[in-house]
Structure formats: structure tokens, C-alpha cells
Amino acid sequence: MRARIRIATLVVLAAVVASGAAVAKQPTVMPKDLPAFGADKPLPVPTIVSETLPNGLTVWIVPRPGFPKVEATVVVRGGNAADPADLPGVSDLLASALKEGTAKRTSRQIAEQMQAIGGTLDASNGTDATFVEADALSSGAVPLIEIVADVTENPSFPKDEVELVKANALEALKAEASQPEFAVEKAFRTAVYGDHPYHVITPTEASIGMVTPELLRAEHARRFHPDRALLVVAGAVDPEALNPVIRKAFAGWKSSAPAPAEVPPAPPARDARTIVVVDRPGSVQSEIRVGRQTMTASDPDFYKMVVANTIFGGAFASRLTDNIREDKGYTYSPGSSNQMRQLGGLLQIRAAVRNDVTAGTLLEIFYELDRMGATLPTDEEMTRAKRYQSGLYLLRNSLNGAIVRTLATNWVNGLPPAALSEFVPKVNAVTASDVQAVGRKYMTSLSETVAIGGDAAKIVPAVAEFGGAKVVQP
């Protein structure tokens, strides 16, 4: 009797789930009397007081009266892309150790002085630049600038602090390496970029082991040149009062070491599909990456790609999500991105699926990629993508810290300050034909690189119809 009740219950639950799934696939019909969306407002170009110091440092001060806070960021060209070939990822450790003591202040003194002005300080590293970022109450603007300048110019890299940074980096590497995404990401970047510095995603155990205080001091002297750097300050500050403080604080910043060589252009994008399988015997899931190199942020195609990627997979309401999540049920959270880099972007599509639907997922990804160049997007898709990107951009840049980071990142990628206000109007100017054109140029399935992590014995035969796969070890 109990068995029959359980079976009946399961049948009812299955019917409910099935009916719920059917309902979920129906497009949402909004009430007809809802007011129309208001026009998007471009982010106005803020007043930027610009100056170049005698040592070559570029300074942008952005006065924004209101909340009594100030944000300051120093960005220096040369992140992971400037790492020596035998020290991949060393700039990550350099950034982590920057704030751990200077010739004038210990790490504890830096923390206490920042706390006294209601602020925080951190340093981070990216593909093309290193960032020193800080914030404080406006009343603490002077000591904030002095501390940021000291950390930027005079890090001492104390031995004990460097050893702690190394230990933390090793633990972080072990944690990352335990995740299936890590090996696939490494294989994907290597397949796309080859030996170019852009293939590096983390330090290696060997490069971490080679780090010493002396090495970090040498790398700092080599990279941190004032004429390769920008200081952005934004908030409730008076530029006339702050400029003398900045000139004094950064006046001593000089570097006699040769600057890093210019990073060579990345190798050209492949014109034929490449498939790499990272073998994880016994895995029941496949971690998929598909993508290729794209354009720089200053390329006329950039804003067209912003809209195209949003329609394809860059938002939850996208073709990719509708296809392999909502319709097929292959994966929970697929997506795509077009990541900016100084020398060119990277289109990257990601999905985690069961082994038995790996080939089916690839087929649908390829189908959606080719559809971008074969057909025009609908008016609804265009409107939705533009609203999503414009709204997200305006929301992200509503705070001083975000504006500082956007200006600094744009500078690294070769964009002028005016680009801050150009995003919304340029996105809104993209046409359906523009989207189709960049689809044909960058999103054809035969030009994409594929990396799959999983059980090679099951995956390789399944994807044979798409071309031969090369098996590599994690």
C-alpha cells in the first residue's frame, strides 16, 4: 500500500514539474497599461582637472560634491603581460606585497593610519596593469594621498611579509587547482594565445617559490615608472587645494631601471576550429569553454560586440540560456563574455554539463554562434540588450569608486576620459545589421577554440563529429 502511495505521489510530482516547466517556457505577457520605459540618460563627462607632473605621472582629479568621501587609484601599465617568461604570475605577488610595508611605514602602521581616516587600501593586478586603490573620508584626503604615494613609490617588501604572501599564494593555487574549471581555463587560454603572456591566469608553484624580497624590489623598479602611470582622484575634494599635495607626495617618484619591453601583439586568431580535451578520468561532468580573440576597446566594432554578446549569452535572458538551459535542460548557468584587454578582447562561452550531453551542448553553442551572423536579431532582442547594458553601466558607475576604476581601466585600454559618457549613446546607436556583421566576423563556429574538461574516454568519441580533439593532462 505504502509503495503504491509513493508511486502515485511521484507521478503527481512529475506531472507538476512537467506542467511547471511548460509554463516556464511561455513568454511573459506584460500588462498593456504599463508606462513606457524612460529614455536612457548618458553618464555625463565629469569635470576632470588634468595635469602631468614633471616626472611624467598623469593626474586626473574629478570633483564630485556630495557625500564626503574620496577615492584614489594609481594604475601602472604592465600586469601579468609584463611578467618574465620564467616568472608567470609574479605580478600577482608583487601587487599583494605592495601594501605590506614601506621605507616609512610598517604594514600595521599603514592599516592603522587608513583606519584613522575612515578608509581602506588595497592593491590588485590585472592582465595589463597593476592598481593601488584607496578610499577615505574627504577630511582625510591629504593623508590618503600621502599613504598612496608612499605605497606606490617606496614598498620595502619585508621578508616576513613576503613569505606570508607566498604562503597565501600557494594555498590559493592549491584551492584553484582542485576545481575542474581551473585546468580547463588554463587549457583554453593556452589554446587561444599559445605562448603569448595573455595565456597566464595564475602564478605557478615554481614561480611562487622563486620570489624573494630582492626580486620584488627589482620588479617594482622595472615596472613602476611614473611616466607609465595614472593617478585618478574622485570625490568631495577641491582640486586647487589637492594639487599641491599630489605634487609634493609624488615628486620623489623616479625609476632608473629600464622599463618593461612592449608586449608583442597576440598571435592571430585561428581560422579553423580547435578542440582540446583536458582528461579527468571518472568525471561525470564536462566543463566547456568556447571562444576566440576579438577586438580592442577602441575598435569601432567594440560597442556592436557588446550588444551582440548580450543577445547571444551575456545576460540571463539570452539565446544561449533559452536554448541549453530553459529548452534543453543541459546546464544550470551558461553564459558568455567579451573581456577587454589592451591588445584585444577575448570572447569566452562557458557551460558545465553532464557527460552524455557534451556533444549536444556543443552542437547548440555552434548553432547559436552561427545564427548570430546568419540572421538579424529581432527588435525585442535589440531593445532588451540595449536596456540591459545601458542600465547596468549607469548603475555600476553611480559611485565614485566605480567611476575611478572605469576611468583607470579605460586609460589602460587606450580610451580617453570622454569614453566614460560615450558608452550609453554608442550602445544605443548599434543596429541589427551591426550585430549581424560582428556575428559573421567574430562568432562563426568554425573559427572558435574549444576546451573541454572531463573524462576523455567518453568525450573524445562524442565530439568526433566536430573535428579531431587533442587530449592533454591537467
pLDDT in tens, 325-368: 999 999 999 999 999 999 999 999 999 999 999 999 999 999 99
DSSP state of 306: H
Q: Are residues 314 and 431 in the same domain?
A: yes
| Reported confidence tier of residue 10, pLDDT bands at 50, 70, 90 | very low
Is the residue at 266 inside a domain?
Answer: no
Place of cell 601583439: 265
Burial class (CB in 10 A: 0-12, 13-18, 19+), 415: buried
Q: Are residues 357 and 401 in the same domain?
A: yes
Is the residue at 458 inside a domain?
Answer: yes
The DSSP code sequence of 68-96 is: SEEEEEEEEE-SGGGS-TTSTTHHHHHHH
Residue 26 in this model has a pLDDT that exceeds 70: no
Q: Is residue 163 within 8 Å of 446, Cβ to Cβ?
A: no
Query: What would the grid cell of residue 122 be?
Result: 588595497
Indicate whether this model's pTM tops 0.95: no
Is the residue at 7 inside a domain?
Answer: no
Q: Are residues 130 and 213 in the same domain?
A: yes
* Dihedral, 202, 206, 212, 216 alpha carbons, nearest 10: -40
Q: How far is residue 131's CA from residue 152's CA, in Å, rounded to a whole number?
A: 9
Q: Are residues 320 and 176 in the same domain?
A: no
The CATH number of the domain holding residue 116 is 3.30.830.10
Q: What percent of the chain has pLDDT over 90?
A: 82
Name the packing angle between helices 379-396 and 432-442 (round to 10°): 80
Work out the widest C-alpha separation in the chain, in whole angstroms.
89
Per-residue pLDDT tens for 147-170?
999 999 999 999 999 999 999 999
| Reported confidence tier of residue 41, pLDDT bands at 50, 70, 90 | low
Residue 22 in this model has a pLDDT that exceeds 70: no
Q: Is residue 114 within 8 Å of 136, Cβ to Cβ?
A: yes
Per-residue pLDDT tens for 187-229?
999 999 999 999 999 999 999 999 999 999 999 999 999 999 9
Amino acid identity of 350? R
Name the packing angle between helices 302-309 and 379-396 (round to 10°): 110
Round the average pLDDT of the chain to a whole number and report it.
91
Q: Are residues 360 and 456 in the same domain?
A: yes
Query: What would the grid cell of residue 5 be?
Result: 502511495
Q: How far is residue 327's CA from residue 356's CA, in Å, rounded to a whole number?
A: 17
Q: How far is residue 354's CA from residue 331's CA, in Å, rounded to a whole number?
A: 8
pLDDT (0 to 100) of residue 256 = 79
Name the domain boundary from 192, 218, 250: 250
Is the residue at 370 inside a domain?
Answer: yes
Collapsed DSSP state (helix, strand, coil) of residue 123: strand
Q: Are residues 232 and 359 in the same domain?
A: no
Q: How far is residue 431's CA from residue 425's CA, in Å, rounded to a whole number?
A: 12
Q: Is residue 356 within 8 Å of 348, Cβ to Cβ?
A: no
Q: Are residues 243 and 342 in the same domain?
A: no
Helix (H) / strand (E) containing 138 = none
Average pLDDT over residues 381-410: 93
Per-residue pLDDT tens for 292-301?
999 999 999 9
Q: Is residue 406 within 8 Å of 43, Cβ to Cβ?
A: no
Is the residue at 1 inside a domain?
Answer: no
Q: How far is residue 162's CA from residue 99's CA, in Å, rounded to a whole number?
A: 11
Q: Are residues 72 and 156 in the same domain?
A: yes
Residue ranges making up the domain that contains 227: 49-250
Q: Are residues 326 and 238 in the same domain?
A: no
Name the domain boundary from 192, 215, 250: 250
Per-residue pLDDT tens for 131-141?
999 999 999 99
Q: For the sheet with 285-293, list strands across it.
A: 335-339, 346-354, 285-293, 449-454, 274-279, 469-472
Q: Is residue 40 within 8 Å of 210, Cβ to Cβ?
A: no
Q: Are residues 282 and 156 in the same domain?
A: no
Is the residue at 263 inside a domain?
Answer: no
Q: Are residues 227 and 294 in the same domain?
A: no
Burial class (CB in 10 A: 0-12, 13-18, 19+), 149: buried
Q: Are residues 456 and 382 in the same domain?
A: yes
Q: Which of 99, 111, 186 is nearest to 451 (CA)?
A: 186
Is the residue at 307 inside a domain?
Answer: yes
Domain count, the chain: 2
Q: How far is residue 411's CA from residue 399's CA, in Å, rounded to a whole number?
A: 19
pLDDT (0 to 100) of residue 470 = 94
Is the residue at 43 inside a domain?
Answer: no
Give CA separation, 236 vs 61, 71, 110, 427, in Å. 10, 9, 23, 30
